[in-house]
Amino acid sequence: MHVLIVKLSAIGDVVHAMPAVAALRREREDVRISWVAERSAAAILRNSPVIDRLIEIDTRSWRRSLLRRETQRALRSRLSSLRAEPVDVAIDFQGLIKSAFVAFASGAPRRIGFETAALRESASRVFLTEQVPVDDRGHVIEKNIALVRAFGIDAGGDYEFPIAVTESAIQAIAARVPSDGYVILNPGGGWPTKLWPAKSYGRLADTIRTQYGLPSLVTFGPGEESLAEEVAASSESGSAIPFRCSLEEFVALARGARVFVGGDTGPLHLAAAAGTPIVGLYGPTSPLRNGPFDPRDRTIGRNDIDCRTDCYRRACDKWICMEISVEAVQRLIDARLQTT
């Protein structure tokens, strides 16, 4: 049986689909698995032991130049790749119109997705042949696992995150990091409402240096370099060090970190998958749905404000949910490190 996994982006979303796909591979070794992902998130899927074929697409670029001849050629090429091998089942873990259309375009006669109430774009249901009831209030990993249970898969046990990291990436990180330990601070957040102030990260780096004698490596994604520099400038002790690395190198970096501190964004979920101790800062999103899954990890958010419930706003005229004190975050770091 050939199964096509459709989980296009973003990084955290792809990470959260991995345990479901790993369970499918574990229980059904006879299944051939292909995965369609956006190029921006595909790096963490390359050479994964649970994927037989990775198909990379770039819908963002295509949308910007849909009528250009080069774009049309790229679209035809990707469609040919989708149909190069007959697909028996396509599973849409994204719940968008474009992801469901990819499942449909694969030619798979069986196309599985979430029930309508749990779809991110309800109109995507027209491309599905089966819809699975899910608990949309629980963790998104369990929501994804519900789709593979439609195969009769027993997906119990610990979550597996089959991310391959090359020896060259491991060595590249080992050559750049302090041998006596470090902390990762990740100030980016994708949405403005997920951002903890850069000055707070800078102060936290000073506290971490005083408390543990450790430097803080400030990781950042595309377009976030100025944010990392602002964090560094806010550290009076010079303990916050901007640190550029690829996604693959970030996984190697996270595996060696004493703790990761950051908001609900891709690097947090990658670090959690790597087994890094986590302290997560949550504003408009819920840690119950999108948080780290190790019970020893810690999260913090403003549970004293009513507007935070089911918020998920990318813009806000109040924006008080990320008003979290440095002292409160430091206490959680202490508590998390005591459990390692």
| Annotated domain spans of the chain | 2-151, 169-337
Please, which pLDDT band fits residue 339 given cuts at 50, 70 and 90?
very high
CA 197 to chain centre: 21
For residue 123, what pLDDT is reported?
A: 96
| Residue 216 dihedral angles phi and psi, to the nearest 5° | -110, 120
Class of domain 2-151 (CATH, top level): alpha beta
Please, which pLDDT band fits residue 75 given cuts at 50, 70 and 90?
low
Structure tokens at 226: 């100025």
For residue 320, what pLDDT is reported?
A: 81
pLDDT at 335 over 70: yes
Distance CA 64, CA 262 (A): 31
Give the model confidence (pLDDT) of 25-41 as tens digits: 999 889 999 999 998 88
Tell me which residue of 184, 337, 340, 177 sits closest to 265, measured CA to CA.
184
Can you give the pTM of this predicted structure? 0.90
Identical fold between 2-151 and 169-337: yes
pLDDT at 66 over 60: no
Class of domain 169-337 (CATH, top level): alpha beta
Half-sphere exposure of 68 (CA within 13 A, CB side): 8
Higher per-residue confidence, 9 vs 281: 281
Coil, helix or strand at residue 317: coil
User: By CB neighbour count within 10 A (0-12 exposed, 13-18 middle, 19+ buried), where does 10 fall?
Assistant: middle
Whether the CB-CB separation of 7 and 37 falls below 8 Å is answered with yes
pLDDT at 309 over 80: no
What is the average per-residue pLDDT within 299-304? 86
What is the average per-residue pLDDT within 183-201? 93
Distance CA 122, CA 141 (A): 20
pLDDT at 43 over 60: yes
